[in-house]
């Protein structure tokens, strides 16, 4: 009788022990799992921050490169590396249009680009424009549309007192209706009707 009880108790003890051990081992597994999750999260956060650090460094390098490039390009393109259709000459920037239009429209198109129809006030400038226009008709900022025979530059300055380069026999106000000036063969100036369609030259100061 006593022996049986003893065996029973022994079995219960063994069972309990078994349970305790099982509990302990599964606890260890959970703790290990939690630790590895934690480790993964930490690794993830660390690598994320590293990646974002590297990408911001890369961005800085890119910006620096761009700054260097564009400051170098300013040597080649004094009118701005982003505005290469503007040509530099003696402190000014010039745009030679690719389309022909009326004098008034040309004036407006230059103004839309913060510039004005070219004013030719020196031999050097006249030569530059002659080489560049190659006998094609290009509007310049000269007209007598306010008072017949009083040729004025677009900035209001009188043209008769300064530099002129009229073709021989011009301005002739042909048909009594020629109030706008353009450069023509060998860059010489002629007056034509303002609605005639010519290419045009815009001018503006070069950026500092
Ligand atoms: C000349 C110019 C006119 C016009 C005509 C075709 O007149 O003065 O402005 O261009 O040639 C004969
Ligand atoms: Ca004429």
Residue 153: the pLDDT is 98
Nearest Cα residue to atom 9 of ligand 1: 192
Average pLDDT over residues 119-128: 98
- Ligand 1 atom, smallest distance to 170 CA: 8
For all residues of the chain together, what is the average pLDDT? 94
Residue 138: the pLDDT is 99
Element (H, E) at 42: helix 2-76
What percentage of the chain has pLDDT greater than the value 70? Answer: 100
Least Cα distance to 137 among 179, 104, 100 occurs for 100
Residue 24: the pLDDT is 85
The binding-site residues of ligand 1, defined as CB within 6 angstroms of any ligand atom, are 170, 172, 174, 178, 190-192
- Top-confidence residue, 125 or 23: 125
Least Cα distance to 202 among 55, 75, 94, 86 occurs for 94
Ligand 1 centre distance from Cα of residue 145 (Å):
17
Residue 196 has pLDDT above 70, yes or no: yes
Ligand 1 centre distance from Cα of residue 174 (Å):
7
Beta bridge partners of 205: 92
Confidence band, pLDDT 50/70/90 cuts, at residue 182: very high
- Ligand 1 atom, smallest distance to 178 CA: 9
Q: Measured between alpha carbons, how far is 62 from 81 in angstroms, rounded to an integer?
A: 17
Q: Is 201 exposed, middle or buried (0-12, 13-18, 19+ CB in 10 A)?
A: buried
Please give all residues whose CB falls under 5 A of ion ligand 2, grouped by chain where several chains appear.
Answer: 170, 172, 174, 178, 190-191
Residue 159: the pLDDT is 92
- Ligand 1 atom, smallest distance to 193 CA: 9
Residue 203: the pLDDT is 98
Contact between 141 and 107 under an 8 Å Cβ cutoff? The reply is yes
pTM score, whole prediction? 0.70
What percentage of the chain has pLDDT greater than the value 90? Answer: 78
Q: Measured between alpha carbons, how far is 22 from 164 in angstroms, rounded to an integer?
A: 108
Among all bound ligands, the one having the nearest atom to the CA of 184 is 1
Nearest Cα residue to atom 4 of ligand 1: 192
Residue 27: the pLDDT is 87
Q: Measured between alpha carbons, how far is 37 from 141 in angstroms, rounded to an integer?
A: 76
Top-ranked range on mean pLDDT: pick from 7-21, 22-36, 68-82, 191-205? 191-205
**CB-based contacts of 124, cutoff 8 Å, min separation 6:** 90
Residue 1: the pLDDT is 57
Ligand 2 centre distance from Cα of residue 183 (Å):
11
Residue 195 has pLDDT above 60, yes or no: yes
- Ligand 1 atom, smallest distance to 172 CA: 8
Min mean pLDDT across 30-44, 99-113, 167-181 is at 30-44
Residue 189: the pLDDT is 98
Render pLDDT for 83-105 as a digit per residue (tens, 0 to 9).
999 999 999 999 999 999 999 99
């Amino acid at each position: 009788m006593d022996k049986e009880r003893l065996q029973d108790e022994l079995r219960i003890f063994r069972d309990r022990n078994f349970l305790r051990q099982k509990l302990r081992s599964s606890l260890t597994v959970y703790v290990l799992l939690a630790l590895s999750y934690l480790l993964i999260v930490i690794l993830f956060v660390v690598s994320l921050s590293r990646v974002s650090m590297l990408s911001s460094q890369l961005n800085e390098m890119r910006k620096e490169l761009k700054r260097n490039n564009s400051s170098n390009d300013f040597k080649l393109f004094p009118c701005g590396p982003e505005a290469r259709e503007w040509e530099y000459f003696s402190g000014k920037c010039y745009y030679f249009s690719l389309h022909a239009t009326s004098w008034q429209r040309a004036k407006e198109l230059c103004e839309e680009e913060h510039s004005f129809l070219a004013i030719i006030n020196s031999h050097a400038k006249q030569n530059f424009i002659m080489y560049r226009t190659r006998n094609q008709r290009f509007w310049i900022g000269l007209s007598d549309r306010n008072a017949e025979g009083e040729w004025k530059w677009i900035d209001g300055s009188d043209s008769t007192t300064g530099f002129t380069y009229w073709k021989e026999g011009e301005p002739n106000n042909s048909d009594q209706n020629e109030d706008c000036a353009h450069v023509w063969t060998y860059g010489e100036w002629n007056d034509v009707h303002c609605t005639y369609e010519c290419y045009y030259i815009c001018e503006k100061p070069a950026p500092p």
